[in-house]
Structure 1
Amino acid sequence: MCGFVCLWNVGDEELAGSMIRKIAHRGPDAVEVATLENAPVVMAHCRLSIIGPEDGAQPIYQSSEMLIANGEIYNHRDLRAILGASAFETQSDSETILHLFRSGEARWISRLDGMFAFVLATRNRIVAARDPLGIKPLYLARIGEGYAFASELKAFDGVAVESIEAIPPGTLYDSEAGWRQWYRTPHGAAELEPGTDIDRTAAELRLVLEEAVAKWMVADVEVGAFLSGGLDSSIIAAIAQRVRTDQGKGPLKTFSVGTEGSPDLLAARMVAEHIGSDHREYVFTAEDLAENLRHVIYHLESADVDLVRSAIPTLFAARLARAEVKAVLTGEGADELFAGYTYHHEYVDDPRALADELTRSLGTMHNINLQRVDRVTMAESLEARTPFLDRELIDFAQSIPAALKLCRTDPEAEEATGETTEKWILRKACADLLPTRLVWRKKAQFDEGSGTVDALTGALQRLTGFDEVDRAAEGALYERLLREAYQDPERILENAGTWDSADRVAVPAD
């Protein structure tokens, strides 16, 4: 996991160096600035060594091409075998991008399986792209007649740019061929067809999920897991623990945070004991929130109330985990794939509308929850991995009828109870992994289950001096703190992630 900057037709190494230093928290292991001979390109990279730690330094320079990348290519070993291992000069997974590009295949990028953003340059061409759902960030700005690319908005702060925009998920820019949307999220199925074998559907979902978790655990360093005690993170942790056991490794390290006695801490302890993980927890207070709020908002690059609230416990979890590991698994994506939000209940009698809404919300994750997870974990030099957003899992989950995801009653029950259950098919698929009371535990937002909302009340009182702080005043405080943190806050706010009216609901539980 890394951060990078690329200047094209700008040619200013000093500028590239100053920009990369603003996001150096993303990669504390090494920082490099390099140019490509006889080409108008400068690349800067900060590295967090996860795969190929010995020889995976970037930028990767070979012949007349140069590459910088952020993220992980999980099928890099398979690609090495297909492309010819002898052609590779490093053990870095990112090098596969370079060789696929050289293959000349029209859809070479579609063969990359993972989370990534990259910029690749030749002497007269530049190519930049982002993974299918935008798990890893990538921004593009204009500087005169040239371009500047960066992993975070703060890299551009104080730089005289004409415009900044996020490269959309699943999109590639080629200076020769223009823009391509190389990936489109498959549209979700709706009604339950007669004769559907629900048991087989659940069993196959379990297999696909297990493969996704195993794949997203590939690393040359130890991978832990966030564990909130909610369904999503608990499932991921339970499967990950089994993967480590099968590999003959020790217990999975799990990490949980919350206020004293909060539901998440109690549930996480129960899960950790059940699966046998090596569990760590951190109890935070209102004072902790007040002390870290400015830090959270600066790194989050947003003043949105819901994002800030959920980013606070994420920060404490990231700090706790980074003391032990360099990478963690998280449960992001399950709510969008399997109908886990409270507002989804409005669609319980309209599976088609629910399927459409789930597909839409998958397409907005890059600017909301995925931005929160990326910025806050990388602020602590920690790589967060999201197995629920594995491409094969997305494809399979979208093929499952929405009628099996949100059910007014158990589809297999003889008598209707009238109770609506979110993520029903996911619960069924993983029911044996966890105690029954945890599998069917009702959802709580991360900021509520962790106790953040209550602790935040005290923190806001300390920061404002008022006995009561309503939502509008809370948002105004967050915006003020963001404006104070940046030289050019308008650029940040213009591109900030927000829960707009179309998103309907605040952040997920895991």
Structure 2
Amino acid sequence: MTTTLPAATGFLAAASQDTEIALRPTFAAQGSRTVVRENRGRQHLHIVLLHGAAPDGSLARRGDTAVLLAGELYNQADLHSLLPDGFGASGDADLVLALLDSYGVHAFRLLNGRFAVFAVAGNRALLATDHAGTVPLYVTARPGQVTAATEAKSLAGTSGTGGLAGTRPMYALPGVCQLKAGVVLEIDIVGGMTDVHHTWKPPLGRRILPEADATDLVRDALRRGVRARTGTDTPLVVISGGIDSSSIAALAVEAADGRTIDTLAMGTERHNEFPEAGLVANHLSTRHREIVVSTADLLARLPHTVWAAETTNVDIVEYLLPLTVLYLRADETSRRILTGYGADIPLGGMHREGRLHALETAVSHDMATFDGLNEMTPVLSAVGGHWSTHPFWDREVLDALTSLEAGLKHRHGRDKWVLRTAMADFLPHPTVIRPKLGVHEGSGTTAAFSALLVDAGVPASHLRHAKHLVLQTLFRRVVANGEHPDAVDLADVVDKVAGRQSQSVS
């Protein structure tokens, strides 16, 4: 695979029977832009590519079919084995185009990657997300035109009928829908009829394995997931000193074959995990850097987090806020960044009760409800010009972790037992046994957001609702209305929400 930034990291694209297509590209993600206009029979294409490298590999054409791909594939070798000998793809989009020739829309069931696809074949438009929707894809459609983008803000103000099968409506963006994870949406451009094809769902069955087999399964799958994302480049790995990020760092060091990798940790003046992260960095002999961010600067990036993640979910924004700040401070040059984010969902890491019934319920619920939260969106790192990727949400890794029975996830009194045991020979013992601490906890983000509202006069009993109102206000301004987050006075937003809460209490 290409180990630099992907050929394209985002796009805005429209297929229309109209000769004039007016697009207003608005991206939070940084990158160069390339505009492509083509007439393909009766269809007119207007594409704005966002990229940090040569964009040619993101767009493939053959006959009346064109495929546009943002992101990257991780099982290229397996996919090539399905095609005739001598086939040479110039990029991931070309590979998908060749697979569509053989498998039709079912080609997307073969892909393991982090991508969003917009394809036009005659009068049909195909929109597809990867298995977990880690690159969000948004769409508006009406008879005669289909428009799609990797950031919803690019579709603000466009006309669409909404209510498309295989999608969910977007808050404060009438007519704009988000494609569900693991879905191919097929749209007749002329008449607007749709068909939905599902390409992946979280496994419901559970595997019973001997301890040694389970740990081998997890370690080998995670090793392949990390290697597919590193190659010959030197990645940057975000570490907190917890088992998740430390496992990724250890396997990245192994994949580097003697080259020194870079690691990075972030904390505030109130809360940090620098000692724990430093222990891992010293053990792995990485080039390690610590970034200290003041609590005030952390909170000031709330508008940027909503701008990038395009969500109003309080928990998710609190998870993603410290990551947004870290990505903005990470480096001046664009980097490929690996994280341990997401392991808690299939492993039940945030579930702190030992009963297996409750653990399985938590895992099943989290795997059924992750979609649409945009936790993994690459825009989060792209606001700093970087490309992030999360090996725990590799399709093979996710299948392996989710499918294990709960007793392998909580065993011998230890949460995430199977992962801790699988990585025991790679990491310091204190890291292997360290209790789980969420990124929002380790950085003090949740407490800081709460204190901001309490200081403004919000009663403690209304904090959750007040946080939601703040995020809704920010979403309307920076996503729906197109304001840049730097122009948002967060203190004013908080004061107005606090005033509304005080009135409701009185």
Q: TM-score, normalised by structure 2?
A: 0.81
Q: Distance in 1 between matches of 2:359 and 2:134?
A: 23
Q: Where does residue 424 of structure 1 map in the other structure?
A: 417
Map 1:430-449 → 2, pairs under 5 A = 430-449=423-442
Call closer, same or farther: CA 1:35–1:460 in 2, change over 3 Å. Answer: farther
Q: Where does residue 475 of structure 1 map in the other structure?
A: 468
Shift of 1:224: 1.6
Q: Where does residue 181 of structure 2 map in the other structure?
A: 169
Q: Where does residue 259 of structure 1 map in the other structure?
A: 268
Asked if the contact 1:114/1:390 (under 8 Å) is kept, the reply is yes
Q: Where does residue 502 of structure 1 map in the other structure?
A: none
Asked if the contact 1:12/1:42 (under 8 Å) is kept, the reply is no
Q: Distance in 2 between matches of 1:58 and 1:182?
A: 21
- SS where residue 158 of structure 1 aligns? coil
Q: Where does residue 48 of structure 2 map in the other structure?
A: 45
Q: Where does residue 320 of structure 1 map in the other structure?
A: 329
* 1:205 lines up with 2:222 in the alignment: no
Asked if the contact 1:4/1:43 (under 8 Å) is kept, the reply is no
Call closer, same or farther: CA 1:274–1:142 in 2, change over 3 Å. Answer: same
Shift of 1:259: 0.8
- SS where residue 69 of structure 2 aligns? strand
Asked if the contact 1:130/1:172 (under 8 Å) is kept, the reply is yes
Unaligned runs of 5+ in 1: 411-419, 490-510
CA-to-partner distance for each residue in 1:287-337, whole Å, 9 max, x for gaps?
A: 213432222222222233222222221112212334354221111331122
Shift of 1:240: 0.6
Asked if the contact 1:29/1:48 (under 8 Å) is kept, the reply is yes
In angstroms, what is the RMSD of aligned CA positions?
Answer: 2.9
Q: Distance in 1 between matches of 2:408 and 2:153?
A: 42
Instruction: Name whichever of 453-462 and 473-482 sits farther off.
Output: 453-462
Shift of 1:107: 3.0
Call closer, same or farther: CA 1:144–1:422 in 2, change over 3 Å. Answer: same
Asked if the contact 2:125/2:146 (under 8 Å) is kept, the reply is no
Instruction: Name whichever of 275-284 and 378-387 sits farther off.
Output: 378-387
CA-to-partner distance for each residue in 1:40-96, whole Å, 9 max, x for gaps?
A: 2424233334xxx44635433333321211111112244345424754462x22321
Q: Distance in 2 between matches of 1:326 and 1:6?
A: 26
Unaligned runs of 5+ in 2: 1-5, 162-174, 189-193, 483-506
- SS where residue 363 of structure 1 aligns? helix
Instruction: Name whichever of 277-286 and 29-38 sits farther off.
Output: 29-38
Shift of 1:27: 5.4
Shift of 1:360: 3.7
Asked if the contact 1:286/1:459 (under 8 Å) is kept, the reply is no
Q: Distance in 2 between matches of 1:55 and 1:478?
A: 34
Q: Where does residue 369 of structure 2 map in the other structure?
A: 364
Shift of 1:402: 1.1
Call closer, same or farther: CA 1:134–1:55 in 2, change over 3 Å. Answer: closer
CA-to-partner distance for each residue in 1:81-136, whole Å, 9 max, x for gaps?
A: 5424754462x223211111112457322222212210111232222211111111
* 1:95 lines up with 2:94 in the alignment: yes
Q: Distance in 2 between matches of 1:294 and 1:485?
A: 7
CA-to-partner distance for each residue in 1:406-433, whole Å, 9 max, x for gaps?
A: 23xx1xxxxxxxxx42111111111122
Q: Where does residue 503 of structure 1 map in the other structure?
A: none
Asked if the contact 1:281/1:320 (under 8 Å) is kept, the reply is no
Call closer, same or farther: CA 1:46–1:326 in 2, change over 3 Å. Answer: farther
CA-to-partner distance for each residue in 1:122-151, whole Å, 9 max, x for gaps?
A: 232222211111111112222454322111
Map 1:5-404 → 2, pairs under 5 A = 5-9=12-16, 11=18, 15-16=22-23, 18=24, 21-23=25-27, 25-26=28-29, 28-49=31-52, 53-54=53-54, 56-80=56-80, 82-84=82-84, 86-88=86-88, 90=90, 92-104=91-103, 107-143=106-142, 145-162=144-161, 163-175=175-187, 178-189=195-206, 197-218=210-231, 222-244=234-256, 246=257, 248=258, 250-260=259-269, 262-342=271-351, 345=353, 348-350=355-357, 354-355=359-360, 357-368=362-373, 370-371=375-376, 373-404=377-408
Give 1:480's aligned amino acid: T
Asked if the contact 1:224/1:325 (under 8 Å) is kept, the reply is no
- SS where residue 311 of structure 1 aligns? helix
Q: Distance in 2 between matches of 1:178 and 1:320?
A: 43
Shift of 1:181: 0.9
Q: Distance in 1 between matches of 2:395 and 2:100?
A: 21
Q: Distance in 2 between matches of 1:6 and 1:487?
A: 19
Give 1:155's aligned amino acid: S
Q: Distance in 1 between matches of 2:126 and 2:480?
A: 30
Asked if the contact 1:6/1:41 (under 8 Å) is kept, the reply is no
- SS where residue 319 of structure 2 aligns? helix
Give 1:117's aligned amino acid: A
Instruction: Name whichever of 471-480 and 228-237 sits farther off.
Output: 471-480
Call closer, same or farther: CA 1:10–1:359 in 2, change over 3 Å. Answer: farther
Q: Distance in 1 between matches of 2:437 and 2:95?
A: 41
- SS where residue 175 of structure 1 aligns? strand
Q: Distance in 2 between matches of 1:262 and 1:169?
A: 35
Call closer, same or farther: CA 1:202–1:238 in 2, change over 3 Å. Answer: same
Asked if the contact 1:129/1:170 (under 8 Å) is kept, the reply is yes
Shift of 1:188: 4.1
Q: Distance in 2 between matches of 1:206 and 1:45?
A: 40
Asked if the contact 2:346/2:363 (under 8 Å) is kept, the reply is yes
Call closer, same or farther: CA 1:124–1:87 in 2, change over 3 Å. Answer: farther
Asked if the contact 2:15/2:45 (under 8 Å) is kept, the reply is yes
Call closer, same or farther: CA 1:27–1:112 in 2, change over 3 Å. Answer: farther
Asked if the contact 1:341/1:422 (under 8 Å) is kept, the reply is no
Instruction: Name whichever of 474-483 and 54-63 sits farther off.
Output: 54-63
Give 1:317's aligned amino acid: L
Give 2:372's aligned amino acid: N
Shift of 1:487: 4.7
Call closer, same or farther: CA 1:477–1:10 in 2, change over 3 Å. Answer: farther
Q: Distance in 2 between matches of 1:105 and 1:37?
A: 20
Give 1:376's aligned amino acid: L
Give 1:224's aligned amino acid: L
Shift of 1:480: 2.3
Give 1:223's aligned amino acid: P
Matched residues, number: 456
CA-to-partner distance for each residue in 1:453-485, whole Å, 9 max, x for gaps?
A: 3444565578x4879893333332332233333
Q: Distance in 2 between matches of 1:206 and 1:110?
A: 24
Q: Where does residue 498 of structure 2 map in the other structure?
A: none
Call closer, same or farther: CA 1:236–1:341 in 2, change over 3 Å. Answer: same
Q: Distance in 2 between matches of 1:357 and 1:84?
A: 45
Q: Distance in 2 between matches of 1:485 and 1:12?
A: 31
Give 1:365's aligned amino acid: F
Q: Distance in 2 between matches of 1:118 and 1:173?
A: 10
Asked if the contact 1:34/1:42 (under 8 Å) is kept, the reply is yes
Q: What is the percentage of aligned positions where both structures have the same residue?
A: 25
Q: Distance in 2 between matches of 1:217 and 1:366?
A: 26
Q: Distance in 1 between matches of 2:55 and 2:402?
A: 39
Q: Distance in 2 between matches of 1:438 and 1:370?
A: 25
Asked if the contact 1:13/1:42 (under 8 Å) is kept, the reply is no
